[in-house]
Amino acid sequence: MEFVRLSQNGRVAIATLDSPPVNALSAGLRRDLLAAIRQCAGDAGIDAIVIAAAGRAFIAGADISEFGRPPVQPILPEVLDAIEGCAKPVVAAIQGVALGGGLEVALACHGRVAAAGAKLGLPEIKLGIIPGAGGTQRLPRLIGGAKAFPMMLSGEPVSARGALELGLVDAVAETELLAEAVALAERLAKSGGLPRTGDRTDKLSAADREAFEGLAAQAGKSSADMPNAMALIEAVRAAYTAPLAEGLAQERALFLKLVVDERSKALRHLFFAEREAAKVPGIGAAVKPRKIAGAAVIGAGTMGGGIAMCFANAGIPVTLIETQQAQIDNGMNRIAAIYDMSVKRGSLTQERRDQRLALITPAVGLGAAAGADIVIEAAFEEMGVKQQIFGELDAIAKPGAVLASNTSYLDIPTIAAATRRPKDVLGMHFFSPANVMKLLEIVRPTGVADDVVVTAVALARELGKVPVVVGNGFGFVGNRMLEQRTRAAERLLIAGALPHEVDAALTGFGFKMGPFAMADLAGNDIGWRTRKSRGKTAAVADAICEAGWFGQKTGRGYYLYPEGARTGQRDPEVEALIAKVSQEQGVTRRSFTQEEILARLLDPMVNEGARILEEGIATRPGDIDVIWLYGYNWPAWRGGPMHWADGVGLDAIAARLAAQAAETGDPALEPAPLLRRLAAEGKGFASLKAAAA
Ligand code: 3HC
């Protein structure tokens, strides 16, 4: 056997799964596990079997990369039937994680022991599917449907202790996992009669069913747009109404239908893209990160304060620096208020709040950055300001400190040139609010030291962020594409659409907010200032700002917000203003369907994404998708802009862009050469291979 090692402890066989890195249930592992069970079942010298694991996971679940391909025998349900039906007791010794199919293996066993640090869960819902190897049938039988259903609906794992309380495991092993599992196996072998999860009905009482139906009714409303949540309800209900075999068949049919759905494909694409994005091309595993024991953040505004909170939340001491006492006081008060809100909501204890605040040291003057291993500058977005700060930092920061700018647009080498150590300088672009948004664009200019890049990636992980390494270039990846969408939205207004129609196209697509509601929330003056500094104009957006309609904070923007309302109402004055701009530009306004609006908003973004790939600013199309998922709330089940474009067909997108370029005379809308080439070859972005990893 290639992936399972068999050994013996007395009369108990130990089948150790060893398929690095996480024992995903690939065809090979399934084959070997089934063979191990059969071999032990037929061996007169063996009374019981323990399934254990080498490495950091018991089993991370089905092998997600096999989904959507023709099934390879034996399929997982067959392996589980062999385990549950085995005449000798089979016990799972769970260490690390038992997720998805991994927990389903454990459920089919006759006993389960978990290591104290283990995590157990059925996260299939996050991949757009439901458990497909008995999870929806066996978990309710073991712990009751009313407890099993929420676990599967959230997909969140439980701790070993939590699992013990639920009755999901028989014991928690503080130190000797294998010894306890062997002891349980021996006890079961002596007891006669095996506890088979599939045979149990005791937890599926009328009261439990009633509680489950209550939860299902709630989920039916709150998750009505999630086909897999609806399928989950149906499958769990079958646990109450049908015998095991029938319930398993129903579950399998639902699972197989969901697995080929575009939504699940998109979520799986993102799962792998996120992991791929963390791999930095051209830097080998031998390059180690520098040690980060303390940090400094320059600028205690919303962004700097949020970044400081990221460090404090991860337990890393951070000095927050401002130029004046009043500003640092304001910054610290803002941070305290955010933590207090979390305490009030119950997501943070008072003790933790105090600990986190104590990790943030307020200071006035750059001198306070002297002891930091990393300094992140989050000052005013102006090159002169940044250069001055980095020039001063050069004299203050300790040798080997990583110097990062949080700029969202500016040229990193120009900032680095203000120091005599450009090898230590890179961009770390957090997204607002920095303590919430998971994306971190790590901007890698040519000339930065490899270990500085690796340090930023490792730190991002420690801060709970999703790092994506990108190249240097105006707006990097995310904001550069966003600019295209912003321009497209303005163009649509002038051509005939209204703000609420444009926003509705994006919310209908799955975004939480459209561009105009978003601009009103963030403040229209921000974009105005940026445009002015770059000598750019946008007729409607500029006119709105000239009228002082900066958005929610002024009570009106693209929409009206009477009495502090959070949701905007249509504003006839804005609509008249837009019509006037159209007239001034000699445009005959026309109506647009929601599909047309959507295409006009997203196609230019995809086009820019293609240019970004051509220029090597992003390494892989998946990197762009991850950036849009975690930085701009792209709806996960749509897989990101490049994945979406592949689904639409690049030939269709190229043709639409060419038509728009001809209509507007805007060369930026001409299909990018890469897009043209792929479209002509009938390929998608997914066909592109990553640059040498
Ligand atoms: N299938 C295939 N590959 C997997 C995998 C899986 N289930 N789980 C992890 N991997 C791969 C990752 O892609 C990564 O590969 P790479 O090194 O080539 O990039 C490698 O294993 C390590 O993964 P991580 O980088 O994520 O390692 P971490 O230690 O950070 O996390 C983990 C480990 C918690 C197991 C995390 O990988 C995870 O959450 N995995 C997915 C778990 C899951 O969703 N399981 C359910 C699958 S669906 C299922 O079981 C259906 C069933 O009901 C029939």
| Residue nearest ligand 1's atom 46 by CA | 100
Cα–Cα distances in Å, from 6 out to 11, 39, 60, 227, 368? 12, 10, 20, 41, 59
Cα–Cα nearest to 427, from 406, 448, 411, 447:
406
Q: Taking the CA of residue 655 as centre, how many other CA atoms within 13 Å lie in the half-sphere pointing to its CB? A: 8
- Is 184 found in the same domain as 50? yes
- Is 607 found in the same domain as 560? no
Q: Is residue 125 one of the residues assigned to a domain?
A: yes
Sequence letter at residue 196: R
CA of 628 to the centre of ligand 1 (A): 22
- Is 382 found in the same domain as 468? yes
Ligand 1, from 22, 79, 265: best to mutate by most atoms within 8 Å of Cβ? 22
- Is 178 found in the same domain as 122? yes
- Is 529 found in the same domain as 621? no
- Is 142 found in the same domain as 53? yes
Mention every residue, 6+ apart, whose C-beta is less than 8 A from residue 617: 470, 471, 472, 473, 476, 477, 480
Mention every residue, 6+ apart, whose C-beta is less than 8 A from residue 21: 55, 56, 57
Query: Which DSSP string do the residues of 187-221 spell out, in sequence order?
Result: HHHHH-S---GGG--TT--HHHHHHHHHHHHHHHH
CA of 432 to the centre of ligand 1 (A): 29
CA of 103 to the centre of ligand 1 (A): 13
Instruction: State which of 584, 604, 627 marks the end of a domain.
Output: 584
104 lines ligand 1 (CB under 6 A): yes
Query: Which residue bears the tokens 């997501």?
Result: 347
CATH number of domain containing 220? 3.90.226.10
Ligand 1, from 64, 154, 251: best to mutate by most atoms within 8 Å of Cβ? 64
The parent domain of residue 561 ranges over: 498-584
Mean pLDDT, contiguous 10-residue spans, the chain (693 residues) = 96 98 98 98 97 96 94 96 97 98 98 98 98 98 98 98 98 96 97 91 97 98 94 98 97 97 96 93 93 98 96 98 97 97 96 98 98 96 95 97 96 97 98 95 96 98 97 94 96 98 97 96 91 93 97 96 91 97 96 98 98 96 98 96 98 98 93 98 88 38
- Is 316 found in the same domain as 386? yes
CA of 24 to the centre of ligand 1 (A): 7
Q: Is residue 385 one of the residues assigned to a domain?
A: yes
| Long-range contacts of the stretch 530-537 (C-beta < 8 A, 24+) | 530/381, 530/409, 533/382
Q: Is residue 266 one of the residues assigned to a domain?
A: no
Sequence letter at residue 383: M
Backbone angles phi, psi at 146, to 5 degrees: -65, -25
Q: Is residue 480 one of the residues assigned to a domain?
A: no
499 lines ligand 1 (CB under 6 A): no
Q: Is residue 267 one of the residues assigned to a domain?
A: no
100 lines ligand 1 (CB under 6 A): yes
**Structure pTM?**
0.94
Whole-number Å distance between alpha carbons of 318 and 357? 10
- Is 385 found in the same domain as 319? yes
133 lines ligand 1 (CB under 6 A): yes
Cα–Cα distances in Å, from 119 out to 56, 59, 113, 123, 569? 11, 11, 12, 11, 47
Instruction: State which of 584, 606, 638 marks the end of a domain.
Output: 584
SS3 content of the chain, % helix, strand, coil (to 5): 55, 10, 35
| Residue nearest ligand 1's atom 19 by CA | 275
441 lines ligand 1 (CB under 6 A): no
Going edge to edge, which strands form the sheet with 111-115?
A: 4-9, 12-17, 48-53, 90-94, 111-115, 171-173
| Residue nearest ligand 1's atom 54 by CA | 132
Coil, strand or helix at 327: helix
76 lines ligand 1 (CB under 6 A): yes
Q: Indicate the pairing of strand 97-99 with strand 119-121.
A: parallel
Q: Residue 36 in contact with residue 6, Cβ under 8 Å?
A: yes
Confidence at residue 689, expressed as pLDDT on a 0 to 100 scale: 67
Whole-number Å distance between alpha carbons of 603 and 644? 10
Kind and range of the H or E run holding 9: strand 4-9
Q: Is residue 518 one of the residues assigned to a domain?
A: yes
- Is 511 found in the same domain as 430? no
CATH number of domain containing 390? 3.40.50.720
| Residue nearest ligand 1's atom 32 by CA | 60
Q: Is residue 483 one of the residues assigned to a domain?
A: no
Q: Is residue 566 one of the residues assigned to a domain?
A: yes
- Is 160 found in the same domain as 16? yes
- Nearest atom within ligand 1 for CA of residue 60: 35
Residue 129 DSSP code:
S
Confidence at residue 230, expressed as pLDDT on a 0 to 100 scale: 97
Instruction: State which of 584, 616, 642 marks the end of a domain.
Output: 584
Confidence at residue 121, expressed as pLDDT on a 0 to 100 scale: 98
- Is 513 found in the same domain as 382? no
CATH number of domain containing 618? 1.10.1040.50
Mention every residue, 6+ apart, whose C-beta is less than 8 A from residue 180: 93, 113, 171, 173
Ligand 1, from 119, 151, 275: best to mutate by most atoms within 8 Å of Cβ? 275
Residues identified as active-site:
104, 124
As for how many domains the chain has, the answer is 4
Whole-number Å distance between alpha carbons of 583 and 577? 10
Tokens of 298: 């320059």
97 lines ligand 1 (CB under 6 A): yes
Confidence at residue 690, expressed as pLDDT on a 0 to 100 scale: 46
Q: Residue 402 in contact with residue 452, Cβ under 8 Å?
A: yes
Query: Which DSSP string do the residues of 132-171 spell out, in sequence order?
Result: -SSHHHHHHHHH-HHHHHHHHHH---EEHHHHHHHTSSSE
- Is 450 found in the same domain as 309? yes
